Amino acid sequence: MIKEYAYAKINLALEVMDVKDGYHMVNNLMIPIDLYDELTFEPNDKIELINNEFEDNIILKAAKLFISKYNINSGVKITLEKNIPSAAGLAGGSSDAAATLRGLNKLFNNVASHDELLDLGAELGSDVPFFIDTKLALCTNRGEVVNKVDADAHVFDLLLIKPKTGLSTKEVYKNYIYDNVSKKEKIDNIITAIKYCDTFSLKKNIFNDLTKTALNLNTELNTIYNDLKKHTDIYLSGSGPTMFIINPDKDVVAYIEKNYKDCFIKKCKTKKL
């Protein structure tokens, strides 16, 4: 039996640009966090996913793609322990898909090279290649080109807050309008701040081009975000609706736990790289 951990991520920078070949071009700086799903893999006579909540699950797509690609004459039984909330902007599905590719590659004697795993991941979704290695990286093009950042990143405490209502990634991108402003300097500043554990500069430069659009599309998210903005620096992950706070103050944590009990609230950390 093979076990894989599928880590969530947050976006420290998400620059969304014009559409090319049907996809928005992005500069997406992502860092993994220590919230994860657990997947186990065992040989089986068919492809089977235990604890499957979705009919069209990306884990099953990944397993079918891998087994078809390498003409494997076997199935697999996959058991999923889900801890990352779905449709949250934390890329739990993409991370599960990458963990499936890694797990099956180990189960079937490493038939795929590292580059082949990246290519398979790109077939499944733009964020999937990032999770093949799950390291701090600037992902470009439509998000599938992974440029690892050479940084011995320090660990930061995080607080995640996800409202009950969700957001459609497709709708957020559909309603987004590019402002034609380059964010390269901010991205460079964020990478430097991570390397030197400069929390002040990190908080000052974090950005997400989708924030305004997401807030306009979700009233609950808008209300919570603008309330918490009065108390602390708060940021949106991905297309939302999960928000995060870096090194949160105890009083702020207490305020959130008291006033937003219906939300998913999770204390965690950036994953040591």
Q: What is the CATH number of the domain that holds 22?
A: 3.30.230.10
Instruction: Give the model's pLDDT for residue 171.
Output: 96
- Give the domain range for residue 132: 2-148
pLDDT band at 151 (very low <50, low <70, confident <90, very high): confident
Instruction: Give the model's pLDDT for residue 80.
Output: 95
Q: Helix 58-69 vs helix 114-124: angle between axes, to the nearest 10 degrees?
A: 130
Burial class (CB in 10 A: 0-12, 13-18, 19+), 98: buried
169 and 207 part of one domain: yes
pLDDT band at 150 (very low <50, low <70, confident <90, very high): confident
Instruction: Give the model's pLDDT for residue 153.
Output: 63
Answer yes or no: is pLDDT of 243 > 90. yes
45 and 125 part of one domain: yes
Average pLDDT, stretch 176-191? 95
**Final residue of a structural domain among 85, 119, 148:** 148
Distances (CA, A) of 167 to 100, 116, 149: 25, 32, 29
| H/E segment holding residue 79 | strand 75-81
DSSP 33-73: EEEEEEEEEEEESSEEEET---TT-HHHHHHHHHHHHTT-S
142 and 167 part of one domain: no
d(CA 32, CA 7) in angstroms, rounded, equals: 6
Tell me the catalytic residues: 9, 127
140 and 174 part of one domain: no
175 and 195 part of one domain: yes
Contact 237, 30 (CB under 8 A): no
**Final residue of a structural domain among 148, 183, 203:** 148
Instruction: Give the model's pLDDT for residue 210.
Output: 98
138 and 245 part of one domain: no
Average pLDDT, stretch 125-134? 96
Instruction: Give the model's pLDDT for residue 272.
Output: 75
In the three-class reduction of DSSP (H, G, I as helix; E, B as strand; rest coil), residue 214 is classed as: helix
d(CA 121, CA 144) in angstroms, rounded, equals: 8
169 and 104 part of one domain: no
133 and 162 part of one domain: no
d(CA 122, CA 151) in angstroms, rounded, equals: 24
48 and 138 part of one domain: yes
d(CA 153, CA 33) in angstroms, rounded, equals: 12
142 and 217 part of one domain: no
Instruction: Please count the residues of the chain.
Output: 273
20 and 91 part of one domain: yes
**Final residue of a structural domain among 148, 176, 206:** 148
138 and 166 part of one domain: no
pLDDT band at 155 (very low <50, low <70, confident <90, very high): confident
At 14-64, the pLDDT tens digits run 999 999 988 999 999 999 999 999 999 999 999 999 977 766 699 999 999
Domains in the chain, number: 2
CATH number, domain containing residue 171: 3.30.70.890
